[in-house]
Amino acid sequence: MKRILLTGATGFVGRCVVGPLIDQGFEVHAACRNPDRAVALGAVGHAADLLAAGAGEDVIRRVRPTHLLHLAWDVTHGAFWTSPANLRWVGRSLDLLDAFVRAGGERVVMAGTCAEYAPSDRPLVEGRSALAPGSLYGTAKLSLGQILRADAAQRGYSAAWGRFFYMVGADEPPVRFIPAQIAAVLKGAPISCRHPWNRIDYMDVRDAGAAMAALAGSRVEGPVNIASGEGRSLDSICRTVADAAGRPDLYTSPDGEPDEGSSATVASVLRLRDEVGFVPERPFDARLREIVSAWVERGPPGPVDPSVRDVGRRGP
């Protein structure tokens, strides 16, 4: 019997992980503050505030999982890059990990981020590309991943580290770049971006969830990029959004060539494809058009954040 403890099950990605885990034969136990929402997804729910002292140990004792998939973290838009909550999440994640391993747990997968990598215009390769996070968030994640790997080698359990890149989904409130552009176009406002030639690796969030579930069910060890492997310029994203909304007039590509200051955040997906055996189902452009169409029909899923800016080097 494979029994997995999932944290962050009601988050943006977590919601897309439960189904694929069940499809793989896992008995899925979700530890979160609102377990009813996890139960609605098909998981066994356990009420837990994982930032509280001892909460991780408690839920491990109740569930006795063979697998741990730890996605929970503070990802409050805008704040999470710099939030001291990153320090508490590192500590509570290590407490949860230690309790899991002491209770006989076999395999752990945790969520890392593309923000661990040093800036590079080349595809980012696990175990090869330089790591040099420019934010407290990226540093906290990198540190947790390093300790996970060293502890797994030490105590002999199986561990992987899924590095999320950028994701897009239909039920994402317009607090991030793509949903904010869609919301603007739907209101009839012209859109623009300051760094149109920045190239970003975007993946449909349902694919990202399925990829993380596949990683959890595999025996692959170490860091694995969870990404599409394809970079899209912000220019092409804005153009697709305006086109799909039937308002191509609301976006005009800037003149000229990709400028010197542009950056790329694009993954190598060889490990995900060849070792985990996962290939995304949903091409990004078609998916983006679907999301725009869904919003045209029913409106955005939440209030628009006026502070949204370009996405750059940092991460999801």
For residue 203, the cross-strand partners are: 167
For residue 110, the cross-strand partners are: 70, 161
Sequence-ordered alpha helix ranges (H) in the chain: 18-23, 35-40, 55-63, 85-102, 136-155, 177-186, 205-217, 234-244, 270, 284-298
For residue 262, count CB atoms less than 10 angstroms from its CB and return exposed for 0-12, middle for 13-18, buried for 19 or more: middle
Judged by CB under 8 A, the chain residues 213 through 242 that form the site for a second copy are none
Question: Applying CB under 8 A, which of residues 42, 78, 84, 303 lies at the interface with a second copy?
Answer: 84
3-state secondary structure of 27: strand
Question: Applying CB under 8 A, which of residues 87, 130, 189, 286 lies at the interface with a second copy?
Answer: 87
Question: How far from chain centre, in Å, is Cα 212?
Answer: 9
Give the Cα separation of 61 and 83 in Å (integer): 30
6-18 in b/e form (b: 16+ CB < 10 A) is bbbbbbbbbbbbb
Question: Applying CB under 8 A, which of residues 9, 21, 97, 185 lies at the interface with a second copy?
Answer: 97
Question: Applying CB under 8 A, which of residues 27, 58, 74, 98 lies at the interface with a second copy?
Answer: 98
- Encoded one letter per residue, x for contact with a second copy by CB under 8 A and - for no contact, window 118-137 reads ---------------x-xx-
- Mark the segment that binds a second copy (CB under 8 A) among 5-13, 89-97, 174-182, 252-260: 89-97
3-state secondary structure of 204: strand
- Mark the segment that binds a second copy (CB under 8 A) among 30-38, 119-127, 143-151, 302-310: 143-151
- Our finding on whether 91 is near a second copy (CB under 8 A) is yes
Judged by CB under 8 A, the chain residues 101 through 120 that form the site for a second copy are 101-102
Which of 122/155 has CB closer to a second copy?
Answer: 155
- Our finding on whether 90 is near a second copy (CB under 8 A) is yes
Q: What kind and span of H or E run contains 110?
A: strand 107-113
Residues that bind a second copy (CB under 8 A): 53-54, 82, 84, 86-88, 90-92, 94-95, 97-98, 101-102, 133, 135-136, 139-140, 142-144, 146-147, 149-151, 153-155
